Amino acid sequence: MLVTKTVPPIRIKEAMDLGYSLFGENRVQEAVGKYAGTDLGRSEIPIIGHLQRNKVKPMLRFASCLQSVDREALVVALERHVDPSSPLDVLIQVNTSLEDSKYGVPPEALWSLAERVEQSRHLRLQGLMTIGRLGASPEEARPGFRLLRELRDELLRRGFPKATELSMGMSRDLEVAIEEGATLVRVGTAVFGTRPTSDLDYWPPSRNG
């Protein structure tokens, strides 16, 4: 997946012309503005950032998938707006690096959230997502990626047969993520170059730099 937050539409169009069709966005407001009136062709736009409940409705106008389900209140808000005749694909975001990250469900709370999503006619649980630990070296992300894979395997054993996806790995740690079994890597900087520094709003900066 190409992550296109802060990337202007003209560059996204270039990527589309090269055959890419999966574009991850963090912020609903930014994405709505960018894609309104754009011919997306067969492109898909998953949302990969923390979602406020009041952004659910505008998100549903364009998002193909929500990768950042992390709490029951969000599930409730989704049920209010998703048409059960076309359920929304979702991933549950797990916080695999508790000391660094403020988003994602803690691993021990995954099971009840997964049950809750699975019971919903409005949502289809496709797997798990995590942001790797932003440490000094990509290797520091490995234990979190491994944990996500183990959690996914346990989900499959517990009777969530469709929860196969492992969305993990970004520009700096995608090789490690792939070694640990990622089915989807989310790449921004390595393709589009460095983003503006306001980018740090998108997730909490690491204490380790």
Ligand X SMILES: *Cc1c(COP(=O)(O)O)cnc(C)c1O
Single residue of 28, 48, 110, 184 touching ligand X by CB under 6 A: 48
- 187 scored as a contact of ligand X (CB under 6 A): yes
Q: List the x/- string, 100-139, binding to ligand X by CB under 6 A.
A: -------------------------------x--------
Token pair for 196: 């503006």
Interface map 55-94 toward ligand X (x if CB under 6 A): ----------------------------------------
Separation CA 25–CA 84 (nearest Å): 24
- The alpha-carbon radius of gyration of the chain (Å, integer) is 16
Taking each helix axis from N to C end, the angle separating 72-81 and 110-119, rounded to the nearest 10 degrees, works out to: 10
Q: Within 10 Å of residue 160's Cβ, how many Cβ atoms? A: 19
Check residue 203 for interaction with ligand X (CB under 6 A): yes
Of 138, 128, 61, which Cα lies nearest the Cα of 96? 128
61, 189, 201, 208: which one binds ligand X (CB under 6 A): 189
CA distance 36 to 61: 10
- The residue range among 51-59, 141-149, 150-158, 164-172 that interacts with ligand X, by the rule CB under 6 A, is 164-172
Q: Between residues 26 and 120, which has the closer beta carbon with respect to ligand X? A: 26
Which pair of tokens denotes residue 199?
């980018």
Q: Which residues of this chain interact with ligand X, rule CB under 6 A?
A: 3, 5, 26, 48-49, 131, 170-172, 186-190, 202-203
